[in-house]
Amino acid sequence: MKILVPVKRVVDYNVKVRVKADGSGVETANVKMSMNPFDEIAVEEAVRLKEKGVAEEVVVVSMGVSQCQETIRTALAMGGDRGILVETDDELEPLAVAKMLKGLAEKESPDMVILGKQAIDDDANQTGQMFAALMGWGQGTFASEVDIQDGSIQVTREIDGGAETVKLKLPAVVTTDLRLNEPRYAKLPNIMKAKKKQLDTLSPADLGVDTTPRLKTVKVAEPPKRQGGIKVADVAELVDKLKNEAKVI
Amino acid sequence: MHPKPDQYQELRDALRDLCKHYPDAYFRGIDAEGTYPEAFIDSLTEAGWLAAMIPQEYGGSGLGLTEASVIMEEVNRNGGNAGACHGQMYNMGTLLRHGSEAQKQAYLPRIASGELRLQSMAVTEPTTGTDTTKLRTTAVRKGDRYVINGQKVWISRVQHSDMMILLARTTPLADVQRRSDGMSVFLVDLHEAMGNGLSAQPIRNMVNHETNELFFDDLEIPEDNLIGEEGRGFKYILDGLNAERTLIAAECIGDAWWFLNKVVDYTSERTVFDRPIAQNQGVQFPIARSYVNTEAANLMRFRACELYDRNEHCGAEANMAKLLAADTSWEAANVCLQYHGGFGFAHEYDVERKFRETRLYQVAPVSTNLVLSYVAEHVLGLPRSF
């Protein structure tokens, strides 16, 4: 089978995010960027399926600025076979990404598309679901276990009440949750090999997608600074404060 | 966080990912127990980092000393100590540059995979430190073998190696025209040699560095283990020493970044008299000075790497890089310890451990005075002092 893995370039999870002075977004200039951690889990799962002999080819795709090539190369160093970048400097919303993924899926005809359940920058948690709807494919979101069977996938999903297991017909969409696997770190020889792997570049126009944003960001603000707590002498005082000051009981 | 992103960022990121699995507490524990960071070194080996300089046809990645130095720098920058493994990176260079094709085929792929560890190089002797040409360990031909007798000291990582590079005199000093002639390089199979003419005595020391005294008593090694031509070994070793000095310069740079990041974070947060201590210029300036010196030493380190990778003479640059980098890491260590106050001495801050570790490079693998002597005599042409 062929697996398509969309990956997003985001501000590294170790970076302390700062809001731009004009409140239009977060600062990304001179900030370390890396692959969305949930997408890393998706790459790992796809590569494991290839190593098990279940998948023949893992195609990594990304959308955005030209530096997204670095993110794709990282995925290729983990074991992806080739990459496709849809290059644009425009701000991309989940629906535009889902539409472009549809264009790529029609070109590539993958049996499975596996991606992170959400990106750690906007936390939208929409792309996988929108894409599945556009394709009319089944979706197994928040996967903590993926088991490929003959012509279908069994996906264990992390839901509020525990774990739910669904069976999907192929082709299908899977979005990954944290517990699915622990991504490997890249090995030096594979980093070197990844430099030589095929990486094609397309434009949104090549896929016939209009990426004009449909949403307008009104304001981005820092969360309020945490106030220091207080100590109470006894339970009675605590209850009194909860009742009369905080008014929560 | 320093260093700033550069063209080697991809390697740095991948290494930092690996190093994240080995936090400060891991290295602190290894130091306290006086053990060897086996798990960390295994991870580095398994991910191919220590085979960076081995050509691809022998199973490595075919990178230069520049990339290798970035790898060592990152190990130290992330809280580790590359002294535990840098031997695996450069010792094979003697084999690669001067060994026969048969020797390279026999050993390099297994060194690349980590199956064979060639982490030791035995040159220094108790009575002849830097005065290498007077070394007393002899290799005497006997049929198809060489018989080794003598003593070596400060030979690192022997307990964690399978093979060792050995420099011994094959023609007596009295019988050679130039004193650098008549020495030869051998590959010693440590498993075969131990207890059969070779014994090792570990030397406990100030840092958790595995180093030993070696005693050769009629150790026999096959003639096939001679590297290159008999009598030309000293020249072969010099190449290796330049690689070693340059890699150690990069490790010192890594240490300096570690100290600087640590002290910048600490002094920005540590509040005394209602303000962070870093707000005082008396605190800022030594940190800034140390940063300036680190950036400068780093340029010399990359210069030495560049020359080595172009196969040009780099003796002066390798020595100068090592001196400048060792000085700057020591300065950064002092600054970092000073502004941590008492906490700098507490094991849990790791400053005292890194402080001890980086102090070594004022002395090893060549002491600061001998670098100055090299520059005075070989670069400036001043009269020889010895």
Looking up residue A122, the CATH number of its domain turns out to be 3.40.50.620
pLDDT given at position B2 = 81
Enumerate the residues of chain B whose CB falls inside 8 A of the CB of residue A16. none
pLDDT of residue B238: 87
**A188 touching chain B per CB within 8 A:** yes
Name every chain B residue with its beta carbon within 8 A of the beta carbon of A77.
14
* pLDDT average, residue stretch B54-67: 96
Dihedral pair phi/psi, residue B286, rounded to 5°: -60, -35
Residues of A in contact with B47 (CB under 8 A): 185-188
A236 lies in some domain: yes
| Residue A112 structure tokens | 């499975």
The answer to whether A29 contacts chain B (CB < 8 Å) is no
Q: What's the CA gap between B332 and B251, in Å, rounded?
A: 13
Q: Given a cut of 90, is residue A126 above it in pLDDT?
A: yes
Phi, psi angles (nearest 5°) of residue B205: -150, 180
Nearest CA of chain A to the CA of B57: how many Å?
Answer: 12
The whole-number pLDDT of residue B386 equals: 84
- The mean predicted confidence, pLDDT, of chain B is 95
Residue A30 has pLDDT above 90, yes or no: no
Q: How confident is the model at residue B228, as a pLDDT?
A: 96
Is A133 near chain B, with CB under 8 Å?
Answer: no
Given a cut of 90, whether residue B93 has pLDDT beyond it is yes
- Asked if the Cβ–Cβ distance from A185 to B47 is below 8 Å, we say yes
Lowest pLDDT segment from A49-53, B126-130, B190-194 = B126-130
The residue among B235, B244, B246 whose CA lies nearest residue B156 is B244
A54 CB within 8 Å of a chain B CB: no
**Does residue A102 form part of some domain?**
yes
Percent of chain B with pLDDT over 90: 95
CB contacts, 8 Å: A72 with chain B: none
A189 in reach of chain B (CB within 8 A):
yes
Mark yes or no for CB contact A186/B47 under 8 Å: yes
Report CB contact under 8 Å: A185, B51. Answer: no
Q: What is the pLDDT of residue B361?
A: 96
Confidence (pLDDT) at B359: 97
Helices assigned H by DSSP within A8-53: 37-51
**pLDDT tens readout for residues B206-250:** 998 999 999 999 999 999 999 999 999 999 998 889 999 999 999
Which residues lie below 8 Å from residue A198, measured CB to CB, with a gap of 6+? A82, A83
Instruction: Determine contact, residues B161/B200, Cβ cutoff 8 Å.
Output: no
B221 vs B138: CA distance, rounded Å? 12
pLDDT of residue A218 exceeding 80, the answer is yes
Q: Where in the sequence is the domain holding A18, given as residue range(s)?
A: 2-244
User: CA of A58, closest CA in chain B: separation in Å?
Assistant: 21
Determine the pLDDT at residue B204: 92
Residue A42, domain member (yes or no): yes
Mean pLDDT to the nearest integer, B254-276: 97
Read off the pLDDT of residues A178-195 as tens digits, 9 standing for 90 and up.
999 999 999 999 999 999
Residue B130 has pLDDT above 80, yes or no: no
| pTM, two decimal places | 0.89
Q: Which domains does chain B have, with CATH numbers?
A: 9-113 (1.10.540.10), 120-230 (2.40.110.10), 235-379 (1.20.140.10)
Q: Write out the two tokens for A58.
A: 């893992």
- What is the structure's pLDDT at B242? 93
CA-based nearest distance A98→chain B, Å: 29
Do B77 and B18 touch, CB atoms closer than 8 A? no
- Is B115 part of the annotated catalytic residue set? no
Look at A186 and B14 and tell me if their CB atoms are within 8 Å.
yes
The two structure tokens encoding residue A60: 């990594």
Give the ipTM of the model, two decimals please: 0.86
The pLDDT of A113-142, averaged and rounded, is: 97
* DSSP E strand stretches across chain B: 118-122, 138-142, 145-156, 163-169, 183-189, 198-202, 211-222, 226-227, 271-272, 275-276
Any domain includes A209? yes
Q: Is the pLDDT of residue A246 over 90?
A: no
What residues of B are in contact with residue A192 (Cβ under 8 Å)?
Answer: 56, 61-63
Cβ <8 Å between A185 and B49: no
For B126, residues 6+ apart whose C-beta sits below 8 A from its C-beta are: B151, B153, B213
DSSP state of B378: I
Is the pLDDT reported for residue B377 higher than 80?
yes
Cβ <8 Å between B61 and A192:
yes
Is A82 exposed, middle or buried (CB count within 10 Å of its CB: 0-12, 13-18, 19+)?
A: middle
Contacts of B11 in chain A (CB under 8 A): 188, 191
A186 in contact with chain B, both atoms CB, cutoff 8 A: yes
**Residue A10, domain member (yes or no):** yes
To the nearest whole angstrom, how far is the Cα of A190 from the nearest Cα of chain B? 9
The reply to whether A99 falls in a domain is yes
Interface test with A, best of B4, B6, B13, B72 (most A CBs within 10 A): B13
Number of domains present in the structure of chain A: 1
Percentage of chain B lying above the pLDDT 70 cut: 100
Q: Is A187 on the interface with B (CB under 8 A)?
A: yes
Chain B, nearest residue to A77 by Cα: B14
CA distance B368 to chain A (A): 34
Most A CBs within 10 Å: which of B9, B11, B17, B67, as the mutation test of the A interface? B17
Mean pLDDT on B29-48: 95
Is A227 a residue whose pLDDT tops 90? no
pLDDT of A220: 93
User: Residue A226's pLDDT is what?
Assistant: 84
Q: How far apart are CA B74 and CA B76, in angstroms?
A: 5
Work out how many CB contacts closer than 8 A connect A with B: 38
DSSP A12: -
DSSP-derived letter for residue B375 is I
pLDDT tens-digit profile of B159-192?
Answer: 999 999 999 999 999 999 999 999 999 999 999 9
pLDDT at A29: 85
Q: Which residues of B touch A190 (CB under 8 A)?
A: 48
A188 and B51 in contact by Cβ < 8 A? yes
Quick: pLDDT tens for B11-24. 999 999 999 999 99
Domain annotation covers residue A169: yes
Q: Is residue A249, in this structure, part of any structural domain at all?
A: no
Q: Given an 8 Å threshold on Cβ–Cβ distance, is B10 in contact with A70? A: yes
* Model pLDDT, residue B81: 95
Of B13, B21, B49, the CB nearest to A188: B49
Whether the pLDDT of residue B129 is over 80: the answer is no
Contact B13 A188 (CB under 8 A): no
Query: Chain-wide mean pLDDT for chain A?
Result: 95
Flag whether pLDDT at A154 surpasses 80.
yes
Higher pLDDT, residue A140 or A222: A140
Active-site entry in B74, B210, B230, B244:
B244
* Chain A 73-92, residues with CB within 8 Å of chain B CB atoms: 73-74, 77
At B313-363, the pLDDT tens digits run: 999 999 999 999 999 999 999 999 999 999 999 999 999 999 999 999 999
B16 residue type, one letter: R
